[in-house]
Amino acid sequence: MTWWFRFCASTFWLLGGENMKLSNCFLNPINFVSYYGWIRPTAIIISQFRRSPDGNYVAAGSLDTVVRIWDVRDETLVERLRGHSDSVYDIAFTPDGKALFSASMDKTLKCWDLTPMLENDGSKTGQGEESARSIEFVGHKDCVLSVAVTPNSAWVVSGSKDRNVLFWDTATGEAQSCFKLIRTP
């Protein structure tokens, strides 16, 4: 069995096993490691964790191009969002929790519609062939490293290794404004 864990102040998230079951452990990590033994690295490397606004779901971007969503109430994997062709570096929920944005090393952002998952109250198995519907945002010339959503969900802001910060209209998926970051001596 393989495990991955992430420390968050007094708690840490633990992912393990073939089904990648999620556990929120309120334990001292040193006690956990000494109790369970050596924790081996997993083949799935998580780049970013985010909790949904209602607190019921946790999403994780990973280097294997997949965004995974767990229901924290029963600690089960409920969705795998596939569509990027390279590592997912950052993710952000919309304030209403009905969509999730992912920033990828493939130079794109994606907006994933989570409404079907929420309507099923997270009862999806996470094993499905099709991922949620997504809208692709194309405009960066290099890896997209960060993403943020405005409080009214009208705009998405992304930062890239190309040193551009783009402001996107979420309704159209079009870049509306660009700020070029320059180096100063």
Chain mean pLDDT for the chain = 76
In this structure, are residues 68 and 59 in contact, taking their beta carbons and an 8 Å threshold?
yes
Q: Strand 21-25 to strand 11-16: parallel, antiparallel, or no bridges (unpaired)?
A: antiparallel
Provide the whole-model pTM.
Answer: 0.75
Q: Which residues are within 8 A (CB) of 176 and not within 5 positions of it... i.e. 6 or more apart?
A: 155, 167, 168, 169
Phi-psi region of 116 (alpha: psi -120 to 50; beta: other; left: phi over 0): alpha
Read off the tokens for 172: 């159209």
Average pLDDT over residues 26-31: 38
In this structure, are residues 170 and 146 in contact, taking their beta carbons and an 8 Å threshold?
no
Average pLDDT over residues 109-119: 89
Whole-number pLDDT of residue 30: 40
Whole-number pLDDT of residue 31: 37
In this structure, are residues 112 and 120 in contact, taking their beta carbons and an 8 Å threshold?
no
